[in-house]
């Protein structure tokens, strides 16, 4: 081989390799798409869930159209007796999001996340809501990877305007969007819940969980009577506190009734004075748990007994509601703790120490 073509081949190979690494490797942290060398260069996923995690041999599938037009795919393992229901909302393929310079995620990545939570998947049921018919079909195949006790996937087209993904952080759209989200959460939660003891909400774009986070939440719920609702710190690579819905009230003036003409000022005061999770948990260790007044839905454990007593996600600003008008804050997850008050075990907490969920870079 002539020398120059050898050099050309070497250069081409190097360029290709650099391009490949540049495209798939996340410089700050290894992306999930590059967890193994094979997955990094696109040779499929090489996850092993351990010997106990082989798919259920005996299970029953069904696909039905519910009275309101929702499609429901269900798979129930024989002798299934799940104690934890994991719930996730999905709009379409993009909801699984992606990290900086990583390949897009999918339900498979989400399942990987569940596989390493330290939970016994045979005792877990999974409930998914998707607005995408393509996702609905793919999910039925994907969920076979893990031996869930029960899987229920619901599909209905999304018709709400406020849910437009691009608008999701624009304050003008926030109330309508979160009201829609609350209704979807309630729809999924009330449909999927059977005899489970706990519900664990996870956002579709959560990429990483601290080790043992779910068992720790369950342990606290079992040992602290009031800890029926537990969340954890959520961060992004570039943002320490991603979950702006988890906070504790700090101003006593916010506890009383709010005159109509002071609503805006009161919201501003709440926003200015509330204490976010990083500050609340500073100095605590992994076995600590700290009370909060509001939670987000990134990762959220709810004792199912609360839901059976009527707890749902408020679809309007519930705080300060009168017969004349709805309140000034507290839609969706932000009003959950408020709605749970007076219920036995309706206290809200956040895990201390290093427990956290990591959200993808985008979104
Ligand atoms: C997981 O749960 C199933 C069903 O309750 C049980 O049969 C199995 O032994 C458990 N596996 C482990 C590793 O605890
Ligand atoms: C965590 O902190 C609590 C209270 O500050 C303390 O009682 C406990 O021993 C600590 N646990 C560990 C594992 O350090």
For the CA of 81, the closest atom of ligand 1 is 5
pLDDT-wise least confident of 35-39, 308-312, 321-325: 35-39
Residue 251 CB less than 6 A away from ligand 2 = no
Q: What is the mean pLDDT of the chain?
A: 87
Closest listed residue to residue 327, CA positions, set 184, 179, 190: 179
Ligand nearest to the CA of 215: 1
- pLDDT band per the 50, 70, 90 thresholds, residue 348: very high
How much is the pLDDT for 277? 95
Domain 225-359 is in which class?
alpha beta
Ligand nearest to the CA of 147: 1
pLDDT-wise least confident of 95-99, 108-112, 227-231: 95-99
Instruction: Tell me if domain 59-221 and domain 225-359 are identical in fold.
Output: yes
- pLDDT band per the 50, 70, 90 thresholds, residue 33: low
Ligand nearest to the CA of 77: 1
For the CA of 120, the closest atom of ligand 1 is 1
* Rounded mean pLDDT, 198-207: 95
Look up the pTM and report it: 0.86
| Probe target for ligand 1 pocket from 49, 78, 81, 122, with the most ligand atoms within 8 Å of CB | 122
Contacts of 146 (CB under 8 A, 6+ apart): 49, 53, 55, 111, 114, 115, 121
| CA quadruple 214, 218, 224, 229: dihedral, nearest 10 | 70
Residue spans of the domains in the chain: they are: 59-221, 225-359
CATH superfamily of 59-221: Spore Coat Polysaccharide Biosynthesis Protein SpsA; Chain A (3.90.550.10)
How much is the pLDDT for 42? 55
* Rounded mean pLDDT, 104-121: 88
- pLDDT band per the 50, 70, 90 thresholds, residue 27: very low
For 145-158, what is each residue's pLDDT tens digit? Answer: 889 999 999 999 98
Residue 288 CB less than 6 A away from ligand 2 = yes
pLDDT-wise least confident of 57-66, 99-108, 352-361: 99-108
Query: Separation of 274 CA from ligand 2 center, angstroms?
Result: 26
- pLDDT band per the 50, 70, 90 thresholds, residue 105: confident
């Amino acid at each position: 081989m002539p020398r120059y073509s050898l050099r050309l081949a070497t250069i081409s190979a190097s360029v290709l390799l650099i391009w490949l690494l540049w495209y798939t490797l996340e410089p700050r942290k290894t992306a999930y798409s590059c967890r193994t060398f094979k997955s990094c260069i696109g040779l499929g996923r090489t996850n092993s869930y351990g010997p106990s995690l082989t798919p259920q041999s005996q299970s029953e599938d069904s696909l039905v159209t519910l009275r309101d037009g929702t499609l429901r795919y269900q798979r129930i393992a024989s002798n299934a007796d799940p104690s934890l229901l994991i719930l996730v909302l999905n709009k379409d393929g993009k909801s699984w999001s992606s990290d900086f310079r990583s390949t897009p995620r999918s339900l498979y990545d989400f399942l990987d996340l569940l596989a390493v939570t330290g939970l016994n998947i045979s005792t877990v049921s999974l409930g998914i809501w998707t607005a995408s018919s393509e996702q609905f079909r793919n999910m039925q195949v994907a969920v076979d990877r893990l031996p869930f006790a029960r899987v229920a996937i619901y599909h209905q087209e999304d018709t709400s305007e406020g849910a437009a993904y691009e608008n999701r952080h624009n304050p003008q759209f926030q109330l309508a969007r979160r009201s829609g989200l609350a209704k979807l959460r309630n729809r999924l939660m009330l449909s999927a819940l059977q005899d489970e003891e706990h519900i664990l909400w996870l956002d579709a774009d959560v990429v990483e969980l601290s080790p043992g986070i779910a068992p720790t939440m369950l342990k606290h719920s079992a040992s602290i009577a009031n800890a029926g609702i537990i969340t954890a710190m959520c961060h992004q690579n570039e943002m320490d506190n991603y979950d702006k819905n988890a906070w504790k009230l700090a101003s006593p003036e916010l506890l009383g009734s709010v005159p109509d003409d002071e609503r805006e000022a009161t919201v501003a005061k709440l926003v200015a004075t509330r204490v976010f999770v990083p500050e609340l948990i500073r100095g605590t260790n992994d076995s600590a748990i700290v009370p909060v007044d509001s939670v987000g839905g990134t990762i959220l454990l709810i004792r199912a007994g609360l839901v059976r007593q009527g707890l749902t996600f408020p679809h309007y600003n519930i705080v300060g509601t009168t017969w004349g008008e709805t309140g000034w804050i507290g839609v969706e997850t932000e009003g959950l703790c408020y709605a749970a008050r007076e219920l036995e075990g309706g206290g809200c907490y956040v895990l201390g120490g290093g427990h956290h969920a990591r959200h993808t870079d985008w979104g």
